[in-house]
Amino acid sequence: MAALLRFKSPVGRVLPSPPSPTPQNVTTVSNWTLIRRMLGLAWAYRWGCIKVLLLQICLLSFGLMGLGLFGLGVDTIRYHIDPTSKAPEYPLGLQPPADNPAFTVSAIAVSILVLALLRGWLTYVYTLASNYLVQAEIVVDLRAQVYSKLQRISFRFFDSNETGSIINRVTGDVQNVRLFVDGVILQTVVLILSLSVYLFYMLHIHVQLTIACLASTPFLGFLTWIYMGKVRPASLKTRELSDTLVRRLSENIQGIQVVKGFAREAEEIDKFAEANRHVREQQNWTFWLTSVFSPLISFIPQFNMVVLLCYGGYLLTRDPSFTLGQGIIVFAGLLRQFEAQVTNIATIANSAQQSLTGAQRVFEILDAPVDIKSKPDAVRLRRAEGALRFENVSFGYRAEEPVLQDIDFEVPAGSIIAITGATGAGKSTLLSLLPRFYDPDQGRVLLDGVDLRDMEVDDLRHSIGLVFQESFLFSNTVAANIAFGNPKATQEQIERAARIASAHDFIMELPEGYDTILGERGNGLSGGQRQRLAIARAILLDPPILLLDDPTAAIDPETEHEILEAMQSAMQNRTSFVVAHRLSTLRRADRVLVLEHGRIVESGTPDELARTSKLYRAAAKIQIPDEESMRLLGMDLEEVAA
């Protein structure tokens, strides 16, 4: 019979193992702290930033030169039409021939064309340099840093953050952080430089006109300050809702068989639509803020143009030194450019808010403590013998909810230890302490007499082979999956591990044998085949310690027999821990530990527990065929007992 061995808690309490991921509480960090961090990021790429800024300065200079030449051309034409008007002032003290205005105007036109061509070429160079800086350097490097940190931080971070949230941080939030460089820092420097140049140029043309046209500008600062205070919380809420949306999509894809099996497609569509609606509504609020802010700051420049027409027209008729070309036309162009830069404040402010929101989420990963790491004087582990001891170990995923309490036992090298107990008793948690996925809150775990916390982490984990209840396979070849822990393994070593795991025969039946590309998560293989590949992957390293976390759960009897044979071969001459519920697995152990509420309540050999343990005997009876089943199978009690 393939019934599962289960222990029922007398009080019905189930301990978490581990707690399901829930969105982590976001710790608010001040804007100035985040800005300083991102300024430090920009400083790391200062030469690329300087290059982009120099190109921007050249573009700004060429634009001003073209505008000035256009005004000069207008004044030249007007002067030759009306000699009583003010003579144009040529740059660099140049004096073109007075009797050939066509030549002068043509020269000015050609100069404007040359400047336009140069500016077009510089724009091309600037675009390449800017995109290379932010996309090929900053984004790639920052994403690699985040990914690298994710490989090193402890499981506690993954326990408290949803998969969708983590994926969003590595993708969208990293893009928002780089936006601070090209969309905030560089644009702010260009903004300040441009406004300064335009302001100086306008003051040079006419001081009173400049003051009149820009009198309303301080009001923009007030509007921007209000806008930034409202947009950041809205942006942060949008990212949180996006995380929820991605999580729902991810769960639906991974659980599509369950959804279809229970005919819940319509309900799932409604749930996704609801999550999508929440994101849309929150984004609409953000868009509404932006749409209100943008017209307000756009209205002010238009008002300034009205002032220019009125006051500038008055000066043109009253002040002989104020010209049409280098006066009103150039001033209008400068005012337009000034207004464009002022209008860009809204875009920069919006980019800043997106960057601050993304930066907080990215830096939460980069600043996450690495709880599990090697000490500077860590003991290097060459080849462990496999003797283990738990000394009064207690552990909990949360301080107020202990999962393991006062665990104390010793395991001689080469022993096979089976761990059984009710769901939530702490079986998998106990195994997770051996490769230091977590460290005990109290007590210690010793390997060959050395505290695991004093060992080099990589050496320790290379000494342990792991097979999980649901083994994960990568979208790669069969050989690459088996050799995941040792990519330099030879084909002979890979095939030897596969034979020990009873996987070689079915691998050779695959279309390309060991070179067959597996689908996502091993799609296309049976559960037993995936488990045997996982066992082969675990023993390829020839580890002295083997951890098997209920590898025969939820499989048919024939597949169970195949996996048990593979396990028996794999566990030879190794210290092995097996989490199991089935008697067929438990009876192969040298010693069985029974866990209840995170404590070892019984311990002994399978035969001893069969005689003395009420829990063990009660669970064993569940797996004994009933009288009707025995009659149908032609069995008697003597056969069952045997």
Residue 26 is predicted with a pLDDT of: 46
**Residue-range domain boundaries for the chain:** 43-366
d(CA 457, CA 436) in angstroms, rounded, equals 8
pLDDT of amino acid 443: 92
Tell me the C-alpha to C-alpha distance, in Å, between residue 623 and each of 1, 382, 605: 6, 43, 19
Cα separation, 149 vs 155, whole angstroms: 12
Alpha helices in 442-576 (DSSP H): 457-462, 478-482, 491-500, 504-508, 527-539, 557-570
Q: What is the pLDDT of residue 410?
A: 92
**Residues facing residue 517 across a β-bridge:** 477
**pLDDT number for residue 553:** 62
Task: Report the candidate in 486, 461, 484, 489 with the shortest Cα–Cα distance to residue 471.
Answer: 484
Residues 6 or more apart from 355 whose CB is under 8 A from it?
Answer: 38, 176, 177, 179, 180, 183, 184
Collapsing DSSP to helix, strand or coil, 379 comes out as strand
Distance of CA 190 to the CA centre of its chain: 31
> Which pLDDT score, from 0 to 100, does residue 23 have?
44
Q: Is the distance from CB of 121 to CB of 127 less than 8 angstroms?
A: no
> Could you report the per-residue pLDDT of 612-628, keeping only the tens digit for each?
877 777 666 666 655 55
pLDDT tens sequence across 183-222? 888 888 888 888 888 888 888 888 888 888 888 777 776 7
Which residues in the chain land under pLDDT 50? 1-26, 629, 632-633, 635, 637, 639-642
pTM (two decimals): 0.69
Domain 43-366 is found in CATH 3.20.20.70 = no
- Would you state the pLDDT for residue 408? 92
Phi, psi dihedral angles at 5 (to 5 degrees) = -80, 120
